[in-house]
Structure 1
Amino acid sequence: MTGTALIAGQGALPRQLAHSMSLAGQSFVVAEMEGFPCDIPGAAPLRFRIERLAPFLDHLAGEGVTRVVFAGSLRRPRIDPELIDPRTATLVPRLLAAFQQGDDTLLREVVAIFEEWDFSVVGVKDISPDLVPGAGVLAGEVSDADRRDATRAAEIVAAIGPMDIGQGAVVAQGLCLAIESLPGTDAMLGFVADHAAHLRPDPKGGRGVFYKAPKPGQDMRMDLPTLGPETVARAAKAGLAGIAWEAGGVILLDRAAMIAEAEKAGLFLWAREP
């Protein structure tokens, strides 16, 4: 019995999750969307297209798959109408309607379709809890000023969440220096780095905090925000005091490397209680 299907997108998360599952002795199969290859050493992934989603789901069921986990990033594929089979044709209107309503709606529809095939859709935390840490300070020290900035940033992220803008914000001395939008975390931290000398009202005041969290009401099985060593390096370049995130709601890619990078740069890493 195969057990679990890892629907792998791109980036480091599918590789890390596959490694964790292998170490735990879990039986799984890897699947990737055609045109979006994953990077998992030794994997021979099944390939599928949205236009033939129903036969793909039938195939997973025939392989003994009972649960599914999604990991990694995907761009929205172009759909070729000529490739759609009759059974998938009944699903396409639902997917196209969801495409028009943002990522959250699309992900909920995808989950619903998989569940209609009697798959249990689980999250990264269910497969590998160590990737989603609970509350605590992992590196450095958090000052009172940092805590105030993190609280303010959490309020901002919660406010923009329902608008599906982004999952992060940078706050220093109580002021919002930047919010995450479509260009992503790297672009936001790059903006802060490029304008650091002009953004903070008091050069001797708090350096600022980058905060990350899921959207309010987000399905925690899908599209959790991620942080990795590169994020720590970019936060250091932006002159920030540290990174905070919602405990239990953010995936850490290579926690040990993140801690080492933070300690080298003098930043704190804080999984903050919601």
Structure 2
Amino acid sequence: MTTTEAHGGLKLGVGDKVAIVAGSGRLPIDLAEKLAAGGYPPFVVMVNGEADESLASYDHQKVELESFADLGPLLKRNGASHAVFVGGISRRPKLSNLRPSLALFRLMPRILANVTKGDDGVLRTLVGMMESRGIKVLGAHEIAPDLLASHGSMTDASPLEADWRDLDAAAEAARAIGMLDIGQGAVAIGGRAIALEGIEGTDGLLERVKAMRGHGRIAGKKRGVLVKCAKPGQELRMDLPAIGPATVIAAHEAGLAGIGVEADRSLVVDAASVFAEANKRGLFVVGLPPGKRP
């Protein structure tokens, strides 16, 4: 088959179509724009209450979160050969709202087998569901590799020697909670982890740190860092760690000196704005190789 290279280096064949299953945030919009610019306008599945309404300018269908079992048939009906799952989801499906269907009946044994394995188990179920229907699942970085964090400092500011103690401590904590499939981020101040990401996500984590600045154990301590890492053994095509301009602003408001992300395994969304916001506030953003300093 003759192939052509879409924006980002992804090889797509004549007649291929990428479906974007879109949650909230800027990333689904960026990917749709890249695909359209490369001659492959996507089919967008907009999760109700999450996806940005601007995505309705593409061929699309809105779905409820509880209709996830019907995604495979929906994508096949609309000619999708590939699928990418991107964007935030602010809630979990309500079991009471699940609509009985043949697709759900067939998928239920797999759901029940993986639901106790946490978020990554659920994501692997979705990947398996797509691939069983001949739909290739892509990571956002396969469409737009320029989104991946690079190695070393990406901003005007760089970590001080004391910041490296915080980066090491936060990275170790982030990897530990990743092993438990709890979250992807941690904050360290004064050489020790003081807050871990939970179900509230990175925004909630940074809000907690901001509120903790007056706490006796960290009161008066300056600087500190946020680190985000992929979970060990994570399905890298889905739910890679990501930061955006709002992350930088929230980190600054929490009194932190910078952000570390795992290089080549984390996304920097709207990178120009991320670096501009960081430079304006004197924060560093640094790409961290797994397990060691650059």
What is the aligned counterpart of 1:131 among 130, 147, 172? 147
Matched, 1:208 2:195: no
What is the aligned counterpart of 1:240 among 256, 270, 286? 256
- Number of matched pairs: 272
In structure 2, give the amino acid aligned to 1:250: S
Unaligned segments of structure 1, at least 5 residues:
none
CA distance in 1, matches of 2:40, 2:287: 28
Give 1:197 shift: 4.1
Matched, 1:156 2:156: no
Give 1:20 shift: 2.2
TM-score, normalised with respect to structure 1? 0.89
Match of 1:143 in 2: 160
What are the residue-to-residue correspondences of 1:69-84 with 2, within 5 Å? 69-74=84-89, 75-79=91-95, 83-84=99-100
In structure 2, give the amino acid aligned to 1:268: F
- Deviation track 1:163-204 (CA, whole Å, cap 9, x = no partner) reads 12211111122121211111221222122222224466694x
Unaligned segments of structure 2, at least 5 residues:
1-14
Q: Residues 6 and 206 of structure 1: is their aligned pair in 2 closer, same or farther, counting only changes over 3 Å?
A: same
CA distance in 1, matches of 2:98, 2:253: 49
In structure 1, give the amino acid aligned to 2:191: G
Match of 2:29 in 1: 15
- Deviation track 1:27-64 (CA, whole Å, cap 9, x = no partner) reads 4211134565443341341234655845x523433443
CA distance in 2, matches of 1:233, 1:199: 24
Match of 2:199 in 1: 182
- Deviation track 1:79-138 (CA, whole Å, cap 9, x = no partner) reads 568842334411123224433432111111111111101111110110111111221311
TM-score, normalised with respect to structure 2? 0.83
CA distance in 1, matches of 2:283, 2:103: 53
What are the residue-to-residue correspondences of 1:1-274 with 2, within 5 Å? 1-34=15-48, 36-41=50-55, 42-48=57-63, 53-54=69-70, 56-74=71-89, 75-79=91-95, 83-139=99-155, 140-198=157-215, 203=220, 207-274=223-290
CA distance in 2, matches of 1:246, 1:17: 21
- Deviation track 1:204-259 (CA, whole Å, cap 9, x = no partner) reads x6511111111111111001122111111111111111111101122112111111
Note if contact 1:169-1:211 (Cα within 8 Å) is conserved in structure 2.
yes
Q: Residues 51 and 188 of structure 1: is their aligned pair in 2 closer, same or farther, counting only changes over 3 Å?
A: closer
Identity over the aligned pairs, expressed in percent?
37
Note if contact 2:86-2:239 (Cα within 8 Å) is conserved in structure 1.
yes
In structure 2, give the amino acid aligned to 1:92: M
CA distance in 2, matches of 1:222, 1:52: 15
The alignment's C-alpha RMSD in Å is 2.4
Note if contact 2:223-2:257 (Cα within 8 Å) is conserved in structure 1.
yes
Task: Specify the SS of the correspondent of 2:275.
Answer: helix
